[in-house]
Amino acid sequence: MRSSLARRLTVASLLVTSLAFSLYGCSSSSPAGAGASDDGGAEDATSGDASTSAPDTSTEAASIGDSAPDIDAGAAVSDAGGDTSTLDASTDGSPDASTADASADAKMDALPNPEAGSDATASVLPDAALDSSADSAADAPFDGASEASSVAVDAAFGPTGNLLVNGNAEAAAGSNDGSVVATSIPGWTTTGEANVLTYGAAGGYPATTDPGPTDRGLNFFAGGPDDTTSTFTQTVDLSAYETAIALGHVTLTVSGYLGGYSSQDDNAVLTITFLGGLVTDGGLAADGGPANVTLGTASIGPVLAADRGSVTGLIFKTATAAVPVGTTSVEAELVMTRLEGTANDGYADNLSVTLAGM
């Protein structure tokens, strides 16, 4: 029994020694792999030094786009069965150069091409469109000048603004006393004691709180301190609108605020007279009469005491008429008439003449 047990112990000891030797032999080859892994490189095929030749493959992978898996050089050596000569020294442990080139080409193809972008823009805006835009921009100032010229010659755009000069009596200072006549009334030719007064002028004249224009200024037209009739007249040249008027579709609108004093019927009337006719070498119209023949009239007023409710103030009036073909000018005449008292208490303000239908 003892000798049999001794033999068994001897065999077990030999097995343990053999196992230990085997384990020691395996572990003695791992430092090279570990060194390769720590250095991040692969062994040089010509020198057999596994710790110095290959670059960090994880850095190489990152430079390609972080899409390549991490390469463990130690594992590569182990997978090769310890024969590091299976690694190609020319690639230094990096992925195959052709694979890297293909990946790089793919990334370059994905990048935007500046020249392609320029071509795309050009295809959206063909040369004809670009030339058209440039021509339009270059011609714009001349087109504007042409339109302005068209308005001056043919009055092709309407309606017009107020054609009367100083239709609101604000072009000069008004008199603040009904017994004193204003020294200047621009834009109008006057007769009698035609006057411009301030609202609230001494003598019981219309105040700013009496009926009248909501946008009234400081002054209004008045008949004067002591005359039966007074007039304000101006002529408006319509030759610039001759072509439009010849078509027969132009209309004229006359408007203004007219009034008087209290229960008296002193009043104001604004009349527009259409003048025209064909002028010959002799200065006569085709029919043998004067060149500026009367072709028609339009008027507003009078506004009497009953219209005003026997209250001092002014009421808005307006009228529209067709402009006769052949009209070259109009004459605007404001007539103030005294029917009672000593002062001529015909009043007017915000007078206007406009054309439309052009």
Encode pLDDT of 148-173 as tens digits.
333 333 444 558 999 999 999 999 99
- Report residue 20's pLDDT band, with 50, 70 and 90 as the boundaries: low
* Cα 344 to Cα 189: distance, rounded to the nearest angstrom: 18
Per-domain boundaries in the chain: 2-110, 122-154, 175-356
Cα maximum dimension of the chain: 171
Average pLDDT taken over every residue of the chain: 71
The vertex-136 CA angle with 131 and 141, nearest 5°, equals: 140
Residue 314 phi/psi, 5-degree rounding, is -130, 145
Contacts of 208 (CB under 8 A, 6+ apart): 199, 200, 216
Residue 120's Cβ-side half-sphere holds a number of Cα atoms within 13 Å equal to 6
The tokens describing 134, both together, are: 């440039």
pLDDT higher than 50, residue 358: yes
- Of residues 131 and 208, more confidently modeled: 208
The tokens describing 322, both together, are: 């067709």
The tokens describing 223, both together, are: 């008949």
pLDDT higher than 80, residue 45: no
Most confident range, picked from 80-94, 102-116, 311-325: 311-325
pLDDT higher than 50, residue 33: no
- The class (CATH top level) of 175-356 is mainly beta
89-146 pLDDT tens trace: 334 444 444 444 444 444 444 444 433 333 333 333 333 333 333 343 334 333 433 3
Q: What is the pLDDT of residue 258?
A: 98
